[in-house]
Amino acid sequence: MNRQQVWEQVLGHAGSISHDLVLAAEAARAAGEVVLAGQEKLSNGETTVEQKGIGDLVSEVDRDADLAATEILRSASDLAILSEELHDDVAEQDDMWIVDPLDASSAYLMQAGVQYPAVLVALRQGGDTVLGVNYFPLTGEWFYAQKSRGAWRDGKRLISNSDEGLSEIWVEMNQYGASEHETEYFSNLRNRLRSSSGAQLVTTNVPHSGVAVRIAQGLSSLAAAIHDNNPESVKQGVWDIAAPQVILEEAGGVFVNPEGHRTDPFTIEPIIVACTPEIAKHIIDLGRSLSAG
């Protein structure tokens, strides 16, 4: 199917689940169109790139995509909107939209790969994320979920599972661009994962929150990711977490903190993302053995 046909299929399927999921998908698509249009300008050197920090880049594409998504949401909803570029100072509320208009912006601006940039849109109701959309505009892939209704990729159900042990899986480490912000927990866990008691393969890729839905997709041995997150310099904000979390959880995976508790998107701490609770527990136990030692 071409891009338009996939969109029509996703739109029809989302409509069978809820009006809010349709709205989230429409907002993600609007931002995605900006990202797609910006690709040509980027290739021609017409995009002004700014540096928020080491390895943390932003451009007018991020802000224009933010505007496109939030305008769609505002046209049909009175809820507050928390978004990374234009509305990052909106206070936490029980009911609100959460938008990352261009996740993996640095990967996008460095043209690291079409599989990384994504638009993330989530809805929070009653203090919990109830739906999320993760759209990869450069590949045309749609991942989405609604609480208690399942997770989906392009209209097909996602089931996250694995019967492999820690020693058989691939773990991705999502690190800071600036090593000065790296937490001791993350550094020590990475070393332990690369030992005889650790994982089969440990890699460090470009930072991208969409790794969670790739884990849910299950096309490789990638079964877990560790996101570092230091309260002194936030790397995983609520807009990075909300949508991928509900998608992976509805597929059967988990987002947990180093103590094994479910991740709160508004709490800044390292995150263990895994395709099953069992794999997450193996990693948590490995992290605890560091403290005990």
Residue 177: give its domain's CATH number: 3.40.190.80
- CB–CB of 159/251 below 8 Å? yes
How many domains does one find in the chain?
2
154 versus 46: which is more confidently predicted?
A: 154
Tell me, yes or no, whether 134 and 217 share the same domain: no
Mean pLDDT throughout 116-140? 97
Residue where a domain terminates, one of 155, 185, 218: 155
- CB–CB of 219/275 below 8 Å? no
| Residue 210, domain member (yes or no) | yes
- Confidence at residue 53, expressed as pLDDT on a 0 to 100 scale: 67
| Residue 160, domain member (yes or no) | no
Residue 265 in this model has a pLDDT that exceeds 90 = yes
Written as six digits, the tokens of 272 are 């263990």
How far are the Cα atoms of 24, 91, 130 from residue 11, in angstroms, in the given order? 10, 31, 18
Q: Range with the lowest mean pLDDT among 3-7, 43-47, 184-188, 271-275?
A: 43-47
d(CA 191, CA 224): 15
- Confidence at residue 89, expressed as pLDDT on a 0 to 100 scale: 78
Residue where a domain terminates, one of 155, 187, 207: 155
- Confidence at residue 54, expressed as pLDDT on a 0 to 100 scale: 66
| Residue 248, domain member (yes or no) | yes
| Residue 272, domain member (yes or no) | yes
d(CA 81, CA 167): 42
Tell me, yes or no, whether 8 and 92 share the same domain: yes
Q: Which residues span the domain enclosing 134?
A: 3-155
Tell me, yes or no, whether 95 and 177 share the same domain: no
Mean pLDDT throughout 144-161? 96
Tell me, yes or no, whether 284 and 260 share the same domain: yes
- Confidence at residue 273, expressed as pLDDT on a 0 to 100 scale: 98
Tell me, yes or no, whether 259 and 118 share the same domain: no
| Residue 243, domain member (yes or no) | yes
The verdict on pTM exceeding 0.85 is yes
Mean pLDDT throughout 245-252? 98
d(CA 135, CA 260): 28
Mean pLDDT throughout 57-76? 92
54 versus 216: which is more confidently predicted?
A: 216
- CB–CB of 177/207 below 8 Å? yes
3-state helix/strand/coil string of the chain = CCHHHHHHHHHHHHHCCCHHHHHHHHHHHHHHHHHHHHHHHHHCCCCCEEEEECCEEEEHHHHHHHHHHHHHHHHHCCCEEEECCCECCCCCCCCEEEEEEEECHHHHHCCCCCCCCEEEEEEEECCEEEEEEEEECCCCEEEEEECCCEEEECCEECCCCCCCCHHHCEEEEECCCCHHHCCHHHHHHHHHHCCCCCCCEEECCCCCCCHHHHHHHCCCCEEEEEECCECCECCCCHHHHHHHHHHHHHHCCEEECCCCCECCCCCCCCEEEECCHHHHHHHHHHHHHHHHC
| Residue 264, domain member (yes or no) | yes
42 versus 181: which is more confidently predicted?
A: 181
- Percent of the chain residues topping a pLDDT of 90: 80
Tell me, yes or no, whether 122 and 238 share the same domain: no
- Confidence at residue 291, expressed as pLDDT on a 0 to 100 scale: 58
Mean pLDDT throughout 6-32? 97
Residue 293 in this model has a pLDDT that exceeds 60 = no
Tell me, yes or no, whether 218 and 266 share the same domain: yes
Residue where a domain terminates, one of 109, 125, 155: 155
Mean pLDDT throughout 5-14? 96
Tell me, yes or no, whether 32 and 143 share the same domain: yes
Tell me, yes or no, whether 199 and 142 share the same domain: no
Residue 75 in this model has a pLDDT that exceeds 70 = yes
Tell me, yes or no, whether 53 and 82 share the same domain: yes
Residue 49 in this model has a pLDDT that exceeds 80 = no
- Confidence at residue 42, expressed as pLDDT on a 0 to 100 scale: 76
Tell me, yes or no, whether 111 and 49 share the same domain: yes
| Residue 285, domain member (yes or no) | yes
Domain CATH code at residue 148: 3.30.540.10
Mean pLDDT throughout 267-279? 97
